[in-house]
Amino acid sequence: MFTKILIANRGEIACRVIKTARKMGIATVAVYSDADRDAVHVEMADEAVHIGPSPAAQSYLVSEKIIAACKATGAQAVHPGYGFLSERASFCEALEKEGIIFIGPKPKAIRAMGDKIESKKFANAAEVSTVPGWLGVIENADHAEKIAGEIGYPVMIKASAGGGGKGMRIAWSKAEVRDGFDRARSEAKSSFGDDRLFIEKFVVDPRHIEIQVLADAHGNAVYLGERECSIQRRNQKVVEEAPSAFLDAKTRKAMGEQSVALAKAVDYQSAGTVEFIVDSEKNFYFLEMNTRLQVEHPVTELVTGIDLVEQMIRVAAGEKLVIKQNAVTLNGWAVESRLYAEDPYRNFLPSIGRLTRYRPPEEGQFGDVVIRNDTGVTEGSEISMFYDPMVAKLCTWAPTRLAAVDAMSEALDSFVVDGIEHNIPFLAALMQHPRWREGRLSTGFIAEEYPEGFAPIVPNDAEKAVLAAIATAVELLRRDRLDRLGGRLAPHSGVLKRDWVVKISEDYLSVSILERMISIPMEIDLSVDGGKALTVASDWRPGDLIWRGTVGGRKIAAQIRPVPNGFRIAWKGMSVTARPMLPRIAKLERLMPEKVLPDTSKMLLCPMPGLVVSIAVAEGQAVKAGETLAVVEAMKMENVLRAERDLIVVKLNARPGDSLAVDAVIMEFA
């Protein structure tokens, strides 16, 4: 067994590998760029080596720097994590030449399966079911249009060296093929240094289901069940679960055995994932094989009890697999939510900045529920524009699917993140979505259920009553605390008022206190808008970010933030401002004029911090609705900004190459 390994990665996956290495008694070496000088993985490792400037192309993607770090520290092996150099055969070969072990498959398997074009050819030869498509290199947009017409729309344009949803576009027409080809090629070139593309038939209403395999150097291979990864946005996975609610035992066995056969055919040695597209009739088609550890591997670990990183290290050290196929069992259900630095209310555009608060829910086993949070940040960490926007992977396990989903819902409500925009409101809302809870999924789920984008969830009457009850309880405690502070000019005298009004959005809800015990823990009985009595109980203290308690017997975990004259309450994807006040104040408040927001309808605002790749129009140019105005790159993804209506460009405020802040004015219209 190795005594020291180097992790050629950053962020949460570097931290994840370090945890297992530490458990195995193996010393670890971290590498870091300028941007990651104070990163968590650097602090966790036993040693750390600086490898260059912030851009990945000048640091994490430079194999010579990784090898030099191994030599300098005496690391015997390298774990590549995912992304970066994890699927680059040349890196594996370079390590072998230096006598350093690559904790992953051999170059042959990486080449056979890592290239999407070659992997499909190989799968076809091995009689693995594949999606119809064109596996040759596509020369230009004209060639792409011709091929798409022969295959039949819709088609998927994909980067041969791609991954993570980058260099990938769905096209439903000739025009979309041409535009998608150009965008996919540009993204592939900037993300992978390889602009080769291929085209295949896009299966309508597909599920994305993948099989986890483990194989050693002695010819042994097993499959560890499946992961359902159908909840995707822009071909990027958002929520995963294991097992899939869709598969039956027969289909699971067939997919697993086919995956193992494919792994053995390429002499695969390590943990790997065979991805499939599955249609509504449970027909499955080979999509690709990822010759590395997957982002979503924790859900498989939670349902099998197998540490995949440990197995990778043991296989790389030459050990035989001790896991037998008939001993692999899937126990309970696990769900993973990817926490991204992105604004769900702005079409999920990336966000950057410092984490002024980062307080995930407590990890561990709580009754029948397990909570796990894989992350590479801490409070004070900076989310930069140089790397992937994923902040953490929150996982829950429970005996049943709905119990795991409900546990995830509560964990998300308890996850405090400030300083950046993030997708927790969307994830929390998703956990309540009837179609998700029923398991009726497809890769088009988000586009179908949120065709106009994700908007703030509007609470119904029952939910407003809960929010008003929480706001009233918090306000009573706040006032009681103020009354106990010394040195006040006019301390409160007399009993607390019985009648209150809570303003939520444009609604004024009357709240009557029936019974009260203003203390910690608090317990009061109240009614909202004359409804039935609700008992509100909580041990919340002023200053706590999470309000935990019960309202009418319903268990609640909600986030509380003070705002002028009230509180911002976030709960199950809802985020409302609740302002408790006395009835006399509420009467006057209704008379206050509304503040009108400035008109930005004649401006194109930069929707996220990013780099202007191109400006597609000139001053004075007339533009039709739907035409491209500009392309802005952020976190390795190119975002096309289009005209929402017919207009005339009167002024350009930005040029290609400019770095813009969010809401910076790119151009103005007549």
Query: Which residues have a catalytic role annotated?
Result: 288
Please state, in angstroms and rounded to a whole number, the distance separating the CA atoms of residues 290 and 256.
Answer: 15
| Contacts with 459 (C-beta within 8 Å, 6 or more apart), sequence order | 467, 504, 574, 576
Whole-number Cα distances in Å, 85 to 14, 127, 196: 13, 30, 18
Please state, in angstroms and rounded to a whole number, the distance separating the CA atoms of residues 133 and 152.
Answer: 10
Contact 13, 28 (CB under 8 A): no
The two tokens of residue 280 are 């509504």
Contact 556, 535 (CB under 8 A): no
DSSP string covering 140-194 = SHHHHHHHHHHH-SSEEEEEEEEETTEEEEEESSHHHHHHHHHHHHHHHHHHHS-
Burial class of residue 329, CB neighbours in 10 A (0-12, 13-18, 19+): exposed
Going through 293-356 in order, the beta strands assigned E by DSSP cover 333-340, 342-343, 349-350, 353-354
The two tokens of residue 579 are 């302002």
Which amino acid does the sequence have at 438?
E
Please state, in angstroms and rounded to a whole number, the distance separating the CA atoms of residues 456 and 471.
Answer: 19
Burial class of residue 629, CB neighbours in 10 A (0-12, 13-18, 19+): buried
Whole-number Cα distances in Å, 469 to 153, 263, 435, 444, 461: 53, 57, 29, 38, 12
DSSP string covering 197-221 = EEEEEPPSS-EEEEEEEEE-TTS-E
- Which residues share a beta bridge with 48? 30
Residue 72 phi/psi, 5-degree rounding, is -65, -30
Query: Would the CA dihedral through 561, 567, 569, 574 be positive or negative?
Result: negative
